[in-house]
């Protein structure tokens, strides 16, 4: 299977923290307009891409937002204080670079600490290279958001980049829509604000009332030195979710996904994630309930500026999603 990973590179580098996903949505819309019947944006900002058909209404969800920071205070010397947007790991922040939507870049620093236990978010600051509050206000205001800098790099079968969570899910969904010959009613929802509470997915599922939903997102791995034991590894195939903090996948859905993968010799691995969640967590309890599953892309260093995945797992994910859309006989 030949996938356009250069497009994934473009996707990952677009500015799109939670609440500011519009540039990501515009890029995806421009790519998918020739492949759909209808393309709309709802009240929260979800991009909803429809291809009409008969039979089941199938919702595919992938979130556009990435983790980031929001500015809360500017001091008189021009240093910025911030809060986090999504699951940002505080200990990993010192020395990281972040970028604002206007292109301004800053470096995260830390105050002198009396003892290691003092290391907390309120001890960190952002230096954007200015000397006063007045100068800082030329570039940044309270409430502005920033994302981590992390170039897209291909290294053999591996890809390293910021925002693979969850631009890779968006990429898999986009490629599947281009390829599938499904005759069902397909609704691809590129959701907003997943990182801060699966908000876009919740409202979209309520409005759409799908018969079936499939989310595409990243998952952790257990294949690095002394990692928490987890039977997911890079290059092992697409993950079929069994459980995470937000959902227990029904046996019916798991069996269906695994049966299709087995029939088509698509490599897959069972995924049990002991924390975290995906858009399916909100979708499956919408209204009276929606049968839901998740295709997971094994990813190392999730929620860092250098997330890593394997192209072979991405190819397996696209192939399986295409097949599931064409035979939703769960």
Question: Could you give the residue numbers annotated as active site?
Answer: 194
Residue 59 near residue 208 (C-beta atoms within 8 A):
yes
The 3-state DSSP class for residue 200 equals: helix
How far is residue 295's CA from residue 218's CA, in Å, rounded to a whole number? 8
Residue with tokens 């299977």: 1
What b/e readout covers 71-84, taking b as 16+ CB neighbours within 10 angstroms? beebeeebbbbbeb
Structure tokens at 215: 């989310």
Structure tokens at 100: 């604002």
Closest CA to 173 of 42, 330, 35: 35
The 3-state DSSP class for residue 182 equals: coil
Closest CA to 242 of 229, 251, 233, 232: 251
Residue with tokens 């969640």: 277
Residue with tokens 């064409």: 326
Residue 309 near residue 220 (C-beta atoms within 8 A):
no
């Amino acid at each position: 299977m030949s996938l356009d990973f250069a497009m994934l590179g473009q996707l990952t580098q677009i500015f799109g923290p939670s609440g500011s996903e519009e540039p990501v949505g515009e890029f995806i819309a421009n790519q998918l307009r020739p492949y759909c019947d209808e393309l709309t944006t709802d009240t929260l900002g979800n991009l909803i891409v429809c291809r009409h058909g008969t039979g089941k209404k199938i919702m595919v969800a992938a979130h556009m937002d990435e983790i980031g920071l929001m500015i809360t205070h500017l001091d008189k010397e021009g240093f910025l204080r911030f809060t986090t947007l999504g699951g940002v790991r505080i200990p990993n922040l010192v020395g990281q670079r972040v970028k604002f939507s206007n292109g301004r870049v800053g470096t995260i620093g830390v105050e002198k600490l009396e003892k290691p236990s003092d290391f907390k978010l309120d001890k960190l600051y952002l230096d954007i290279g200015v000397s006063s509050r007045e100068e800082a206000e030329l570039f940044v205001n309270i409430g502005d958001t920033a994302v981590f800098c992390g170039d897209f790099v291909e290294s053999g079968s591996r890809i390293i980049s910021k925002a693979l969570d969850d631009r890779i899910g968006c990429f898999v969904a986009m490629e599947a829509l281009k390829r599938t010959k499904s005759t069902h009613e397909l609704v691809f929802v590129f959701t907003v604000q997943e990182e801060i509470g699966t908000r876009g997915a919740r409202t979209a599922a309520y409005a759409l009332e799908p018969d079936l939903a499939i989310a595409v997102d990243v998952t952790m791995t257990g294949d690095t030195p002394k990692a928490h034991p987890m039977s997911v590894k890079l290059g092992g195939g697409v993950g079929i979710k069994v459980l995470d903090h937000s959902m227990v996948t029904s046996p019916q859905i798991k069996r269906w996904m695994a049966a299709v993968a087995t029939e088509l010799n698509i490599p897959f691995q069972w995924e049990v994630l002991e924390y975290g969640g995906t858009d399916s967590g909100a979708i499956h309890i919408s209204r009276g309930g929606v049968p839901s599953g998740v295709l997971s892309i094994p990813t190392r260093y999730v929620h860092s500026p250098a997330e890593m995945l394997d192209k072979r797992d991405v190819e397996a994910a696209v192939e399986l999603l295409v097949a599931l859309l064409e035979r939703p006989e769960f």
